[in-house]
Amino acid sequence: MSSPDRSRELDQVCALLTRYYVFPDVAEQVVELLRRRHSAGAFVGLSSDEEFGVAVTQALQSVNGDRHLRLLHSVDEIPVQDDAEAEVFDEVAYRQEVLLSAGGVAAAQRLDGNVGYLDIRTLHDANVAAHIASAAMTLLAGTDVLLIDLRRCPGGSPLMVAHYCSYLFDEPTHLNDIYDRPGDQTRQFWTAPSVPGAKFGGSKPVYVLTSSTTFSGAEEFSYDLQSRGRATVVGERTRGGAHPGARYRIGPHLQLAVPQGRAINPVTGTNWEGTGVRPDVELPAADAFDAAYRLALDHVIGLGRDGVRRPIADEAQAARADL
C-alpha cells in the first residue's frame, strides 16, 4: 500500500501556524522547516496518522522547544467543524468528562493532624467544574495546613487556577496575565472577591507538590502561588509550558495544538516556559508527599495542645512518628 500524500495536511498546519502561533517570527521558521523536510521526503513512508503526528510534532518542537505545539493523533474520529479553522470542541463530551473525573479532583481529604490534602488531576474549565472545586475547598477550609498535589496534573484552564487561588488569598490578588495573539490583547486573571462556601484563607501554610509531569495550567498554579510567597513548592522541576492555545482539526484523526498566547506573571514579568517551575524544596516526586506532610505536621505540632487542639496535636505526633 502506498503512503498517503501529506501535502494537504501540511498546508493546513502551515496556514494555522502562520495565522495563530503566538510568535510570528518563530512560526515562519517552523513553516520553512516543515516545507523543507517535506520536500526532502521526511514524511514519506509514514502511512499511519499516529506516525505522521509524531514526526510532525518532533519537527514543530525542534525550533524553540514549545511543548504545547503538537500534531495530536486521536483514536476517536474528530467531528468535522462548520468552519475549517474552528477550534475542535465537543461540549457534550467535555461535560461528561468533567462529571466522570469528579471535576479533576482525585482526592480531597483531611489527613491525620488536621492536614488538608487535595489531589488535582485536571484543571477543568471553571464555567463547568467550579462547583466541584468549591466543594473540595470548602471541605478542607478548616484544616491547619493544605497540601495541593499537582504531580499528575497536565494542566487546564487559567480560569480554574484563579478559582482555586481565590480560596487561598484574603484580598483580591493579581495572579497572571495572558497575551493572546489572535485578539492582540492581554487578559488579566485575579482572585475573586468572594467565593461559594468557605475559604482556606491567606495565612495558613500551603505546600504544592510537583513532578516533571506537572505542565501548563498546573505550572501556572504552582508559579502563581510561589511568586506571591503564598506556597512552598515541593518536588521536581516542572515540565515548562507557558503558552496556552487551541486545537484545530487537520483530518479525521489528527488535530493541531497551536499555542496562541503567553503567560506574563505580574510579579516576575516573565513565566516558566522552557525552564519549568523550580521547587523551593527539590527532591524526587515520589518523596514529595512525605516531605511536605512532615513539614505540615511540624507546623501543626507547633500550634500547641491547649483545649480542643489536644487531640489534633496527638494525631499529628502519631502521624509524624509513622513517617
Boundary (domain end) residue, out of 259, 292, 308: 259
pLDDT of residue 44: 85
CB 217, CB 196: distance < 8 Å: no
Boundary (domain end) residue, out of 232, 259, 286: 259
User: How far apart, in whole angstroms, are the C-alpha atoms of residue 64 and residue 69?
Assistant: 10
Is the same domain home to 117 and 166? Answer: yes
In degrees, rounded to 5, the angle at the alpha carbon of residue 119 between the alpha carbons of residues 117 and 123 is 135
Residue 288, domain extent? 101-241+276-322
User: Considering the domain boundaries, does residue 269 fall inside one?
Assistant: no
pLDDT of residue 90: 87
Is the same domain home to 65 and 107? Answer: no
Q: In what order do the strands lie in the sheet with 185-190?
A: 185-190, 174-180, 261-264
User: How far apart, in whole angstroms, are the C-alpha atoms of residue 220 and residue 238?
Assistant: 10
User: Considering the domain boundaries, does residue 267 fall inside one?
Assistant: no
User: Considering the domain boundaries, does residue 93 fall inside one?
Assistant: no
Q: What residues of the chain score a pLDDT lower than 70?
A: 1-3, 82, 84-85
Residue 153 CB partners (closer than 8 Å, separation 6+):
104, 120, 121, 122, 123, 213, 214, 215, 217, 218
DSSP state of 3: P
User: Considering the domain boundaries, does residue 49 fall inside one?
Assistant: yes
Is the same domain home to 144 and 80? Answer: no
User: Considering the domain boundaries, does residue 209 fall inside one?
Assistant: yes
Is the same domain home to 237 and 253? Answer: no
Is the same domain home to 105 and 83? Answer: no
Boundary (domain end) residue, out of 259, 294, 311: 259
Is the same domain home to 41 and 119? Answer: no
Is the same domain home to 59 and 6? Answer: yes
Is the same domain home to 77 and 126? Answer: no
CB 269, CB 281: distance < 8 Å: no
Between strands 254-259 and 185-190, the pairing is unpaired
> Structurally, how many domains does the chain consist of?
2
| Positive or negative: CA dihedral 219, 141, 201, 145 | negative
pLDDT of residue 160: 98
User: Considering the domain boundaries, does residue 265 fall inside one?
Assistant: no
pLDDT of residue 1: 45
All three cell numbers of 13: 498546519
User: Considering the domain boundaries, does residue 81 fall inside one?
Assistant: yes
Helix axes 49-61, 24-39, angle to 10 degrees: 130
Is the same domain home to 106 and 43? Answer: no
DSSP state of 199: -
User: Considering the domain boundaries, does residue 95 fall inside one?
Assistant: no
Is the same domain home to 84 and 211? Answer: no
Is the same domain home to 237 and 148? Answer: yes
**Any idea how long the chain is?**
323
Q: Which long-range contacts (CB under 8 A, 24 or more apart) does 268-275 make?
A: 268/227, 271/223, 271/242, 272/219, 272/220, 272/223, 272/238, 272/240, 272/241, 272/242, 273/66, 273/240, 273/241, 273/242, 273/243, 274/65, 274/240, 275/237, 275/240
Identify the CATH number of the domain in which residue 7 sits.
Answer: 3.30.750.44
| Positive or negative: CA dihedral 179, 63, 242, 6 | positive
Is the same domain home to 129 and 31? Answer: no
Identify the CATH number of the domain in which residue 287 sits.
Answer: 3.90.226.10
pTM above 0.85, yes or no: yes
